[in-house]
Structure 1
Amino acid sequence: MERIQRFANKYEKAAALAKQFPAIEPWVPTKPKLWQSEPRNCILFEALSLAKEIIDPAIVDQSRMLSDN
């Protein structure tokens, strides 16, 4: 499946998903320092993003238009 990158990085994507799903806000990963490894919970937000695109791509496009305003 070809995926369009709608955010500059995975941390912005996670923050946008947390706005849509407030229940997951406590798990939003913070950007690590250059020498630190990526937070493990990044993969959860990547999976949620992919699931949203597969289930209903139109909803993803609408949410993108709303965040652009």
Structure 2
Amino acid sequence: MAALSVLAIAVASGKAGYVFLSGGKLQDWGITVQAVRSGNELVGFVQGLINELRPDVVVTEDCTVSTCRKGDKAKALIRSLAKLASHNGVLDVDVPRPRTYQSKYEEAEALVTTYPEVAGHLPVRKRRIFDFEPRSMVLFEAIALAQEVINGPPKRVAAAMG
């Protein structure tokens, strides 16, 4: 399944991150703060990514599972991205957010070993309880979502195909 081109989008409070993998290689990535002000802005931003990158699959977080920790606004934004993918004839796969590490920071460090191109986005230090989460953490969330589809069971993509 590594031959698929995958656009994964993660939405967090006041930010969104995306990664584009083709043939298992990280081709493009980014973080936006301005596009998450409204659903229309985020949909427009992602529509531009779909037009430019032409992915086979768009991956978003499954917000229907009990383990989803997103707020109502983030969930609404994620649902709008799923609709956008289906309107573009792109396969939309929603996956539960993988939680295989003790913390997001350990996950980010592990992902950097696989994708060293994003090492510059790794937070310098772990967040203290009263600090805001670093903006770049949403990028690692998007990578984790993409890996769930690329490395996960093929039945997930097959189920999305109907």
TM-score, normalising length: structure 1: 0.71
Indicate whether 1:35 and 2:136 are aligned.
no
Indicate whether 1:26 and 2:125 are aligned.
no
Q: Which of the pair is proportionally richer in helix?
A: 1
**What do residues 3-60 of structure 1 show as CA deviations (whole Å, max 9, x unaligned)?**
54210000000000001111111111231222211001111000101111112226xx
How many Å separate the matches in 2 of 1:34 and 1:3? 22
How many Å separate the matches in 1 of 2:119 and 2:127? 17
Instruction: Give structure 1 stretches of 5+ with no counterpart.
Output: 59-69
Task: Give the total of aligned pairs.
Answer: 58
CA separation of 1:39 and 1:54: change in aligned 2, threshold 3 A: same
* Residue number among 110, 117, 140 corresponding to 1:45 in the alignment: 140
Compare CA radii of gyration and give the structure with the larger one.
Answer: 2
How many Å separate the matches in 1 of 2:98 and 2:139? 18
User: Shift of the alpha carbon at 1:2?
Assistant: 3.8
Partner amino acid, structure 1, of 2:99: Q
What's the C-alpha RMSD, in Å, of the aligned pairs?
1.6
Structure scoring higher RCO (CA < 8 A, sep ≥ 6) equals 2
Does the 8 Å CA contact 2:98/2:145 hold for their aligned counterparts?
no
How many Å separate the matches in 2 of 1:4 and 1:41? 18
TM-score, normalising length: structure 2: 0.33
Identity of counterpart residues, as a percentage?
36
Find runs of 4+ consecutive structure 1 residues off by over 3 angstroms. Answer: 1-4
